[in-house]
Amino acid sequence: MRVLALAGRRLAASLPTLVLILVGLFLLLQLAPGDTVDALMAQMGGGDAALAEDLRRFYGLDLSIAARLGQYLLRLVTLDLGFSAIYGKPVATVILERLPATLLLMAAALSFAFFFGLVLGVLAARRVNRWPDTLISTLGLIFYATPSFWFGLMAIVLFSVHLQWFPAGGFYEIGEGLTGLALTLDIARHLVLPTLTLGLIFLAIYLRIMRASMLEVLSLDFVRTARAKGLTETRIVTRHVLRNAMLPMITLIGLQAGTMLGGSVVVETVFALPGLGRLAYESVVQRDLNTLLGIVFVSALLVIAINFLVDLLYAKLDPRIVSGG
Amino acid sequence: MTALNRRDTLLLGAAGMIPTGAMAQETPRKGGVLTVHFATEQRILNPSLQASTGVYIVGGKIQEALVDLDNDGNPVPVLAESWKSSPDGKTHTFKLRQGVTWHDGKPFTSADVAFTAMEMWKKILNYGTTLQQFLTAVETPDAHTAVFKYERPMPQGLLLRALPDLGYISPKHIYETGDIRQNPANTAPIGTGPFKFVQYERGQFIIAERNTNYWRPELPYLDRVVWRVISDRAAAAAQMEAGQILFSPYSSLAISDFQRLSRDARFEVTTKGNEGNARTNTVEFNHRNPVLADVRVRKAIGHALNIPFFIENFLGTFAKVGTGPIPSVSTAYYPTSGIPQIGYDVALANRLLDEAGQRRGAGGVRFSVRLLPAPWGEDISLFATYLQQSLQQVGIRVEIVRLDAAGFLRSVYNDWSFDLATGWHQYRNDPAVSTTVWYRSGQPKGAPWTNQWGWQSDAMDRTIDDAATEVDPARRRALYAEFQKLAQTDVPILTPIEQIFVSVFNKRVRNAANNPRWASSSWHDTWLAS
- Cβ–Cβ of A170/B130 closer than 8 Å? no
The answer as to whether A179 is a domain residue is yes
Nearest to B406 among A35, A44, A94 (CB): A35
- Cβ–Cβ of A271/B53 closer than 8 Å? no
Nearest residue in A to B243, CA atom: A161
Tell which wins on pLDDT, A148 or B146. Answer: B146
Residue to test with chain B: of A37, A43, A154, most B Cβ within 10 A: A43
The answer as to whether A42 is a domain residue is no
ipTM of the complex: 0.78
A277 touches chain B (CB under 8 A): no
* Residues above pLDDT 90, as percent of chain B: 68
- Cβ–Cβ of A156/B127 closer than 8 Å? no
Query: What's the CATH number where A131 sits?
Result: 1.10.3720.10
The answer as to whether A193 is a domain residue is yes
**The total number of structural domains that make up chain A:** 1
B133 touches chain A (CB under 8 A): no
The predicted-structure confidence for A33-69, as pLDDT tens digits, reads as follows 888 888 887 777 777 777 788 888 888 788 888 888 8
**Mean pLDDT on B246-254:** 92
The predicted-structure confidence for A187-237, as pLDDT tens digits, reads as follows 888 889 999 888 888 888 888 888 888 888 888 888 888 888 888 888 888
The answer as to whether A33 is a domain residue is no
A280 touches chain B (CB under 8 A): no
**Mean pLDDT on B287-297:** 95
**pLDDT surpasses 90 at B149:** yes
**pLDDT surpasses 90 at B83:** yes
- Cβ–Cβ of A272/B204 closer than 8 Å? yes
Which residues of chain A from 242 to 261 reach within 8 Å of chain B, CB to CB?
A: none
- Cβ–Cβ of B124/A51 closer than 8 Å? yes
- Cβ–Cβ of A274/B204 closer than 8 Å? yes
Cα–Cα separations (whole angstroms), residue B186 to A54, B55, B92, B175, B314? 18, 11, 28, 10, 39
Nearest residue in B to A156, CA atom: B238
Helix/strand/coil (H/E/C) assignment for every residue in chain A: CHHHHHHHHHHHHHHHHHHHHHHHHHHHHHHCCCCHHHHHHHHHCCCCHHHHHHHHHHCCCCCCHHHHHHHHHHHHHCCCCCECCCCCCEHHHHHHHHHHHHHHHHHHHHHHHHHHHHHHHHHHHHCCCCHHHHHHHHHHHHHHHCCHHHHHHHHHHHHHHHCCCCCCCCCCCCCCCCCHHHHHHHHHHHHHHHHHHHHHHHHHHHHHHHHHHHHHHHCCHHHHHHHHCCCCHHHHHHHHHHHHHHHHHHHHHHHHHHHHHHHHHHHHHHCCCCCHHHHHHHHHHCCCHHHHHHHHHHHHHHHHHHHHHHHHHHHHHCCHHHHHC
Q: Which pLDDT band, with edges at 50, 70 and 90, does A98 fall under?
A: confident
The answer as to whether A252 is a domain residue is yes
> B332 CA to chain A: closest CA distance, Å?
23
**At CA B165, angle to CA B114 and CA B133, rounded to 5?**
55
**pLDDT surpasses 80 at A120:** yes
> A263 CA to chain B: closest CA distance, Å?
16
The predicted-structure confidence for B7-24, as pLDDT tens digits, reads as follows 343 333 333 344 444 444
Which residues of chain B from 364 to 383 reach within 8 Å of chain A, CB to CB?
A: 376
Q: Which residues pair with B421 in a beta bridge?
A: B284, B372
Provide, as residue numbers in chain B, all residues whose Cβ is less than 8 Å from the Cβ of A84: none
Q: Which SS3 state, helix, strand or coil, does residue B80 take?
A: strand
A289 touches chain B (CB under 8 A): no
pLDDT score, position A202: 85
Nearest to A272 among B226, B228, B449 (CB): B228
The answer as to whether A285 is a domain residue is no
**pLDDT surpasses 50 at B256:** yes
B256 touches chain A (CB under 8 A): no
The answer as to whether A37 is a domain residue is no
**Mean pLDDT on B84-108:** 95
| A-B contacts (CB, under 8 Å) | 174
- Cβ–Cβ of B406/A164 closer than 8 Å? no
Provide, as residue numbers in chain B, all residues whose Cβ is less than 8 Å from the Cβ of A170: 204-205, 228, 244
Average pLDDT score over chain B: 90
Q: Which pLDDT band, with edges at 50, 70 and 90, does B153 fall under?
A: very high
Top-confidence range, A17-21, A77-81, A179-183, B371-375: B371-375
| H or E segment and range at residue B159 | helix B156-166
- By mean pLDDT, which of A208-212, A315-319, B345-349, B386-390 is the weakest? A315-319
The answer as to whether A265 is a domain residue is yes
The predicted-structure confidence for B182-234, as pLDDT tens digits, reads as follows 889 999 999 999 999 999 988 889 999 999 999 999 999 999 999 999 988 88
Q: How far apart are CA B348 and CA B426, in angstroms?
A: 30
- By mean pLDDT, which of A318-322, B28-32, B60-64, B149-153 is the weakest? A318-322
B54 touches chain A (CB under 8 A): yes
Taking the whole predicted model, whether its pTM rises above 0.90 is answered as: no
pLDDT score, position B223: 94
The predicted-structure confidence for A15-29, as pLDDT tens digits, reads as follows 888 888 888 888 888
| H or E segment and range at residue B162 | helix B156-166
pLDDT score, position A263: 60
- Cβ–Cβ of A87/B43 closer than 8 Å? yes
* Residues above pLDDT 90, as percent of chain A: 1
Tell which wins on pLDDT, B127 or B100. Answer: B100
Provide, as residue numbers in chain B, all residues whose Cβ is less than 8 Å from the Cβ of A98: 203
**pLDDT surpasses 60 at B82:** yes
Q: How far apart are CA B453 and CA B455, in angstroms?
A: 5
Range of the domain at A267: 102-277
Tell which wins on pLDDT, A172 or B170. Answer: B170
- Cβ–Cβ of B448/A164 closer than 8 Å? no
pLDDT score, position A175: 67
Q: Which pLDDT band, with edges at 50, 70 and 90, does A1 fall under?
A: low
